[in-house]
Every structure is written in C-alpha cells, then in structure tokens.
Amino acid sequence: MLSRRPEPSRPSIPGRRRIPISILAGLFAAVVAGACASAGPAGPPSGGPRAGVRGEESEARPLTPEQQAARRVSRIAITPDSVELQVGDSARVRVTALDSAGKAVEGAPLRAFVSGRSAAYDDSSGWLKGLEAGTAILYGVVAVPPARPGAESRSILARAAIRVSPLPVVRIELTDVPDSLYQGTRTRLEAIAFSRVGEREGAPLRWSSSDTAVLAVTDHGLASALAPGKAAVTARSGGTEVTGTVRVVRSPVRSLAVTPASIDTLTGDVVHLTVTARDDRGRPVSGVPVRWSVAGPDGAADVGAYLDESGTFVAERPGLYSVTASAGDRTAVAEISARHRPYRIPMKAVGHGVVHGHSTSDLWAFQGVDGRDYVYTGTHADGAGGDVLYAWDVTDPAKPVITDSVVVDARVVNDIKVNDTRQIAVLTREGASDRKNGIVLLDIRIPAHPKIITSYTQDLTAGVHNTWISGNLVYAVNDGTRAIHIIDISDPLHPKEVGRWEIDRPGKYLHDITIKDGLAYVSYWDDGLIILDVGAGIAGGTPTKPVEVSQLKYRTRWGAETYGNTHHAIRYENYVFVSDEIFGCSECGNGPRGYVHVIDVSDIRHPKEVAYFRVPEAGSHNLWAQDGRLYIAYYQGGLRVVDISGQLRGDLYRQGREIGWFDTASPDAFEPNAAMAWGPQVFRGHIFVSDMNSGLWIVKFARGDATTGASASGAGASGGGS
C-alpha cells in the first residue's frame, strides 16, 4: 500500500545506543536492520536474537504466510557444517529451516548467502562454488517478526566455515626483467603467475641468479648488478619456473643531478623531481635505474613524506627534507622546505531538523519549480521502520520545516533522486512486507507536497538500493540480480526497462552508480570500481547499452581481515573518489571503518590509486565534490571537508588537507549524542548533511565562502550515493 501523510508526532526514544549493522550480500536487506545495506565480507551478524524494527506501521500490518512460517522456525541446519574445496570446484550444501521437532518448515523466509569473496552460493540449487583462495562463511538466516505489538523482531542464524584452496601455478610470465643493467645499480624484477583459469594473484614467487658474482637476486626479486657479465634469472612457484637473461655492463654514469635542487612548498602539494645522469664527457645517459630515498625533518624515524619511484614527493608535515637519488655509487640530493597548509576552518550549524521517530538515510537538495528550496530525506530500518520520505522547506536554512511526507511499504527508503526538470523524484524501496520493492516515482511539481505517480517493481522486487537519473533514464541498483536496471520514465505513469548491465561473476554484489559526462562509475563491492561508457563515445556504449571501459579492484586490511567493499564512487576532474563501507571487522569496535581512495583516471582505460584520505577509528560513507573540495559523510566521524585542489598523492589526512570538520552528533536526536553522518550535498552556499541519528543539518564555514557555484538542481557537482 502506498500513501501520503503529514509528519506524525512521535516521542524520542532515549537511552538506547544503536550501532547500525551492515546488511550482508544484499539478500539480508529484508531480514535485519542495518546501516547502509551493504554486502559481501562486511562482517557477520551476531548470533541469537537481535534488535529489530519497532513502530506503529509494522505493528499494524497483519502477518503474511511467510511471516507465520518464520514464527515456527526453531533453528537452521547447514549440511555439511564446514566445506573445503578448490578454486573453480563446486559442492552441494543444504540450508534448511527446521521447527522444534526437527522437521523442515515450508514457506519460511530463509536466506542463504556467503560472506567473503572466496565463494558464492546459489540458494535456488544449493551449489557452493569456490571463486578464489581464502576463507568465507556461509550464512543461513530467518527473520522472525515480533511475538506481540511493541516487541522486537529477531533473527535465527546458522553458519558454516568455507575454505578454498588455490589452483596450482602452471605458467609464469616475466613482465619486468631488463635485458641489461649498469654495474652498481639495483632494480626490482617482476613476473606474473597463472593457474589453468587465469592470473593467480598473490602466488608465491622465488627468484634466483645463476651467477651471484655478476647479478645478486633476493628471494623476492631485488636484483643488484655487481660485475660485468651475464646471468640467468629464474622465477619459481612450486614446480613451475621461467628463466630470463640479464647482461651487466660497466656504468658510464659519472654524475647525477636532481632538478629542482632546492624548493619551498606546502605540505600536501606535489613536487616532481627529475634526475639527469651524465657520462665523463657530460653527455646525458638514458635508461639508468634510479633509487630514491628521503630523510625527514630532525632525522625522525617517521619520515613524514610520500616519495615514489618516479621522484614524486609530498611533505606530510612542516620542515626541511633531503631527497636523495642514487644510481650505483653516484648520488644527488635535493632540499625541500615545507610549510604547513592553512589550518582547518571552523564550521557552524545554520539549521537543524530532527525526526525523532525515524533513523534518517539519504538526502537530495534542490530548488523547486516554485522557486523555493527543498530537501527530501529518506528513513532507515533502525528504530521505527524506514518507510517514509520527508519533504523539508529549507528556503530559510536556519529554520528547516517539514511540509509533508510520503509513506510506502518498506523498511528502508535508502535513496532519493530528483530529475533535472525538478518535476519528478525517485525513491527506492527495500524490505517491503509483500516483498514487492522497486522504485516509486513522485510528482514534485508542487515540491512541498510530493505525490505518488506510480510504483515500478518489474524485476526489482528484491529491492533497489540506489539509483541515478540521467535524462529520462533511471539506473537502478537491484539487490536481487546485482545488476544495473535501466528504466525509461519518459512516460512516468508507465515506466519500462530498456536495458541492463552486470558483471559475469558468481557472488557479485552491486552497491551504487553515479554518472557524469557519459561515463558511469559503478561501485561493485569486491569487484571494485567499474567505469562504463553510457554515451561518452569512448568504447561504443550508449545510455541503454553500457560498455565497460576499465576496472580497478583493491583490498584493504583491517585487523586480520582484508576487504574490498567499494561503496560509492564520484568523478571530479581527473580523479574518481571511492569510499569503502566496512562493518563487523575486528577493528570496528566503535562502529564502521573504511576510507576514501583517490583514483587517477587521466588515462581512463588504466585507472590507478594515487592517494587516500583516512580518518582514524571511523568509517567513510557518501561523498560530494565541488569547487576543489571533497565533502565526506564519515559516519561516526561526522562531516569532513578536504582540499582536493591541484595534484593529489599520498596520505591527504596526514598532509593537512582536511580544511573542515563538523560533529553531527546532537542531544536532540533520534539517537542522542552519537554521530552517524550519512550523506552530504552542497547547495546554494550551504552544506546539507543527513545523519542517521540526528536528522538533517545545514552547515557552513564560520568564515569565508567555501561553497560557491551550486546550481539550483544540484547538477554540475559530483555526489549522490547511499
């Protein structure tokens, strides 16, 4: 049922500390309440009964047959309770909901899924497949509705351990072994190992040299040219090996010079150093391997700088640095004096809007066709249920006022977008009582009072987590198919699917999509950032038939575990900013973790990570970039604002590029005194931030104009994830 109603009066709920829990593998979205419904290896839920949804809407609904069956479930059996298999192999695993007598409960809402990228489970057939070496956990879960009005829902959970062993290496390919080296120089040898199904990342390689008097090579491939002559170098893995030949010749280098030899700079600014080698006649010598090193201020053990193999340098703290270039026994030194960047600018709240009865999710700010300013906010399952969109009039940013609301059958209204004409909005639904989710189109020609046009559920019933609107097309992130569904809304009463795109990998999970200048930036969790041509003319893609341009996968370590969890990606100039979302890790004691990766896409077909922004003991969420600044909703770390002007390399946090911080915790909140910033947006000279616990904030810098150039619709900037 879809309806619309004004904001109800609800008391706040004091004294309970809610720590949102990530929703695993998309399938969990309809089962447990969480923060931003995420997936994959975001961490297991705790066993036993768990806090669920409370609220008048959920209490008033009659139980469905599926919910009635859930109440009869006593436990879940997974057979076998542990599985060992090899990459590419499959095993049959049964996941069954049982009653107190040990009999299978037909019709129970049983979900089975894998946490971890090493395996995938098809719950329709019961087959488990090994994808890559490592460990994972197979979960079975049933959501049990409250036993009585006002009680809490709970989940029945079972798990089985999975271990996937790697395939043996069958071939090794040398990728970076020079034909010759100058005597006295060093270089790193590189090779790639392959199994029968493709490249085997992380395969152990051991290197050796046939003549260590000519060329010494460490086990890990660091080669030192010692004397003229030839040596064979061999890379081995198990019983497979490959050999190449390196010739060592006398070095003609008699001098080195680094340019610039001396320079003044700011912390966080990139300095490019170049080195010139010359022979005894002063002629340039090419092809000389150069090794770079740096000594920090006052000889500190922590150098406090970024320096790569190309001679790119960034200071992290003020002081005098000595950068040395070495080629054999020849060296040259550059001195770099770094001053501190301008210090953080204080930020202040202009206005604050609280929804005491709901946890707040995403937001979208825009100027309505009536000339007034509005923000729409969604709601999340934590607390009283996430079935409401609120319309706020923020024309006076100091006094945000709820003008109306839209209620849908959902447990999460995760995302809201407004089209360029500012006449249609799209909200997403997850966790509907009838399991018919999808998207809802709203008529916002009277923006203070949005009205439902239609609900579109075709092939989207599992739930939609995020969307992006481009012209008359909605790109919907489907929790069930884990694909992008492309929906034509040119006739808002009759939306229709006109395209679809997904990767071909079992166990995939799709989280978000943004589009800019004909390129889509897709956050595909453990499969990383995928860039699609949707009309840019780079790879032959069209808006309805996307074509992949490039992909970048990464893993980050948190405690004993590693995670991908690519959550949200936005393009700004020659960079794509990508945030992680990680719950349940061994380091997640006070809440989520994750940080922002800075990806250089100046060569769009070969993206590479060049920098990062990482706040200690907090987790990144949604992003917005505009006018040389990156705005990050950093969950328990509040709102962070980062200077992203110029070139970016290394650790932006340590370099002092953070120019603003606002704590979104408040005593007047759905959950008092606990920041959980969800999403930022710059709009008409202010920064709008949604927080799961404290609602809607309107913020600005205490001095100066830090937010210029925003358009009425929010277009022209980059952001909008969930």
SS (H, E, C) 428-439: EEECCCCCCCEE
pLDDT at residue number 603: 98
pLDDT at residue number 303: 87
Tell me the two tokens of residue 583: 């719950």
Q: How far is CA 425 from the centre of its chain?
A: 25
CA atoms of 63 and 69, how far apart (whole Å): 10
List pLDDT tens digits, range 144-179. 887 776 666 788 999 999 999 999 999 999 999 999
Backbone φ and ψ for 390, nearest 5 degrees, come out as -105, 140
CA atoms of 286 and 237, how far apart (whole Å): 34
List CB contacts of 604: < 8 A, sequence separation 6 or more: 519, 531, 538, 549, 550
DSSP secondary structure string for all residues of 250-283? -----EEEEESSEEEEETT-EEE-EEEEE-TTS-
pLDDT at residue number 154: 84
Instruction: Say which range, 26-40, 118-132, 289-303, 348-362, has the weakest mean pLDDT.
Output: 26-40
Question: In the predicted model, is pLDDT for residue 391 greater than 90?
Answer: yes
Question: In the predicted model, is pLDDT for residue 678 greater than 80?
Answer: yes
- For 127-141, what is the mean pLDDT? 91
CA atoms of 264 and 237, how far apart (whole Å): 48
CA atoms of 601 and 637, how far apart (whole Å): 28
Q: Exposure of 492 by Cβ count < 10 A (0-12 exposed, 13-18 middle, 19+ buried)?
A: middle
CA of 350: how far to CAs of 353, 690, 698, in Å?
11, 14, 5
Rounded CA Rg of the chain: 28
Pick from 144, 143, 140, 136: nearest CA to 159: 140
- For 52-62, what is the mean pLDDT? 43
SS (H, E, C) 445-498: CCCCCCEEEEEECCCCCCCEEEEEEECCEEEEEECCCCCEEEEECCCCCCCEEE
pLDDT at residue number 382: 64
Pick from 487, 489, 408: nearest CA to 450: 408
pLDDT at residue number 143: 86
Q: Which residue has the higher pLDDT, 585 or 445?
A: 445
- Sort strands 359-367 and 623-626 into parallel, antiparallel or unpaired: unpaired
DSSP secondary structure string for all residues of 511-574? -EEEEETTEEEEE-BTT-EEEEESSSSSSS--SSS-EEEEEE---EEETTEEE--EEEEEEETT
The one-letter code for the residue type at 378 is: G
Instruction: Say which range, 22-36, 104-118, 582-596, has the weakest mean pLDDT.
Output: 22-36
Question: In the predicted model, is pLDDT for residue 398 greater than 50?
Answer: yes
568 neighbors 720 (Cβ within 8 angstroms): no
Q: Which residue has the higher pLDDT, 465 or 717?
A: 465
CA atoms of 471 and 25, how far apart (whole Å): 30
* In the chain, domain spans: 186-249, 255-328
Q: How far is CA 387 from the centre of its chain?
A: 25
Query: Sorting pLDDT into bands at 50, 70 and 90, what band is 707?
Result: low
- For 469-484, what is the mean pLDDT? 97
pLDDT at residue number 596: 98
621 neighbors 690 (Cβ within 8 angstroms): no
pTM of the model: 0.84
Question: In the predicted model, is pLDDT for residue 392 greater than 60?
Answer: yes
pLDDT at residue number 5: 35
276 neighbors 284 (Cβ within 8 angstroms): yes
pLDDT at residue number 201: 83
Task: Please give the torsion angle defined by the CA atoms of residues 433, 434, 436 and 442, in that order, rounded to the nearest 10 degrees.
Answer: -60
pLDDT at residue number 61: 62
> What percentage of residues in the chain have a pLDDT greater than 70?
88
Q: Which residue has the higher pLDDT, 40 or 390?
A: 390
Question: In the predicted model, is pLDDT for residue 36 greater than 50?
Answer: no
Tell me the two tokens of residue 334: 């550059």
Residue 288 CB neighbour total at 10 angstroms: 20
68 neighbors 50 (Cβ within 8 angstroms): no
> What percentage of residues in the chain have a pLDDT greater than 90?
75
Query: Sorting pLDDT into bands at 50, 70 and 90, what band is 12?
Result: very low
Q: Which residue has the higher pLDDT, 603 or 434?
A: 603
Pick from 35, 722, 113: nearest CA to 426: 722
> 543: cis peptide before it, omega within 30°?
no
- For CA atoms 541, 543, 544, 548, the dihedral sign is positive
Question: In the predicted model, is pLDDT for residue 299 greater than 80?
Answer: no
Backbone φ and ψ for 69, nearest 5 degrees, come out as -65, -35
CATH fold for domain 186-249? Immunoglobulin-like (2.60.40)
Pick from 48, 44, 45: nearest CA to 162: 44
Q: Which residue has the higher pLDDT, 100 or 17?
A: 100
Residue 346 CB neighbour total at 10 angstroms: 11
528 neighbors 40 (Cβ within 8 angstroms): no
CA atoms of 101 and 91, how far apart (whole Å): 28
List pLDDT tens digits, range 353-374. 999 888 999 999 999 999 999 9
List pLDDT tens digits, range 237-274. 999 999 999 999 999 999 999 999 999 999 999 999 99
153 neighbors 52 (Cβ within 8 angstroms): yes
